[in-house]
Amino acid sequence: MPSSTRVLRVDAQQPDPAVIAQAAAVIRAGGLVAFPTETVYGLGANAWDAAAVARIFRAKSRPASDPLIVHIAELAQLPAVARDLPAVASRLCGHFFPGALTLVLRKSPRIPENLSAGLDTVALRMPDHAVARALIKAVGAPIAAPSANTFSRPSPTSAAHVLEDLAGKVDLLLDGGATRIGVESTILSLVDEPPRLLRPGGISLEAIRALLPNIQYAPQFAAEKDTVPAPGSLLKHYSPRARLLLFRGDDSAVYTAMRAEITRHSQVGLLLRQRDAEQFHDLDIQIESLGSNSQQAAERLFAALRALDKAGVAVILARTPEERGLGLALRDRLLRAAVGAVAEV
């Protein structure tokens, strides 16, 4: 384990090749590098190196049952990672790569057992971020990278978030500023028939459905007591330390219920869209605005959860986002952060 984490700043559009070369050398030597992608920061290791992959699990305190996503820089790397591609895979790649879509495919024999948690499948993505792409190319191998946070904490959308969780546990951090999308990739399983959305994310269900009309989405949340949950289905995830309560209902009913809830606790924080936040400006409490549309909400969500934790609130009140576009990903993250606590009002 490194005793300290080196931080190098890097331009998000035109990364300095010398900086990328240093990061690539760390990965080639079996080390860990945290780097920006368009979704969230990733914690990367050489995907072919099982020992380096094991270090990712240790650094994040991630259970061995939760497989990693493999990141590639060009389609030519795909056959080394996955096999038996269904016909629809090339259409999806043509449309959504590079971008915030992860495909679950049959894995190639070259994928280390620990990377894929012993499954016969592998999750694969081509990030749309100059730093991530340059790094993968410079390493000359796919990079295994989950989000660069401690397991079950809110995902990192800035270099500061990575350091909050992983300082001293990662060799090098490339600081490329705040991430553009702010929620993780959409995960689509092509080993199921019909194809199944496993996690809503940066690419909307509607956009995928335009190409794959038979795509299925049935959110399944496993409780922590379940011994072998499907990968990524744990309900408690993306959690702030504070307790999060979600409210579902009309504006006025939600505002009334939230005011009643606020009187019940001494340290309450609000996580609301700008127009909702304005309803509470008479109160002396911490309010984090999610902006005025779902793009802004996605960009700000994880940073806002971390900010509320820093402010020391005990309870966070928020609304359930609408179930379309990026709203589906926001809803999934908030439900998990709330560990299912939703008040119908």
Binding site for ligand AMP (CB under 6 A): 66-67, 69, 104, 116, 119, 121-123, 146-147, 184, 187, 198, 231-232
Q: Which is nearer to ligand AMP, 107 or 319 (CB)?
A: 107
- Which residue number has the CB closest to ligand AMP? 232
Query: Which residues, including other chains, have CB under 8 Å from residue 217's CB and lie 6 or more apart?
Result: 196, 197, 200, 205
* SS3 call for 223: coil
Q: Output the smallest distance, CB 129 to ligand AMP, in A.
A: 14
Q: Output the smallest distance, CB 270 to ligand AMP, in A.
A: 27
Residue 123 partner contact from ligand AMP, Mg ion, none using kind-dependent CB cut-offs of 5 to 8 Å: ligand AMP
Q: Which is nearer to ligand AMP, 111 or 138 (CB)?
A: 111
Q: Which is nearer to ligand AMP, 233 or 293 (CB)?
A: 233
Q: Does 179 bind Mg ion (CB under 5 A)?
A: no
If we measure between CA atoms, which residue out of 336, 126, 324, 168 comes closest to residue 240? Answer: 336
Residue 171 partner contact from ligand AMP, Mg ion, none using kind-dependent CB cut-offs of 5 to 8 Å: none
Please name every residue paired with 197 in a beta bridge, in sequence order, or none if there are none: 188
How far does Cα 331 stand from its chain's mean position?
A: 13
Q: Output the smallest distance, CB 327 to ligand AMP, in A.
A: 19
* SS3 call for 105: strand
Q: Output the smallest distance, CB 278 to Mg ion, in A.
A: 32
Q: How far apart are CA 31 and CA 11, in angstroms?
A: 22
Q: How many residues does the chain have?
A: 345
Residue 183 partner contact from Mg ion, ligand AMP, none using kind-dependent CB cut-offs of 5 to 8 Å: none
Q: Output the smallest distance, CB 56 to ligand AMP, in A.
A: 10
Q: Which is nearer to ligand AMP, 69 or 159 (CB)?
A: 69
Contact of 72 with 133, CB cutoff 8 Å: no
Task: Give the chain's count of helices (H) and strands (E).
Answer: 11, 16
Q: Does 204 bind Mg ion (CB under 5 A)?
A: no
Among 5, 39, 77, 147, binds Mg ion (CB under 5 A): 147
Q: Output the smallest distance, CB 163 to ligand AMP, in A.
A: 17
Q: How far apart are CA 97 and CA 64, in angstroms?
A: 28
If we measure between CA atoms, which residue out of 229, 220, 218 comes closest to residue 194? Answer: 218
Residue holding tokens 């061995």? 64
Q: How far apart are CA 276 and CA 258, in angstroms?
A: 11
Q: Which is nearer to Mg ion, 141 or 187 (CB)?
A: 187
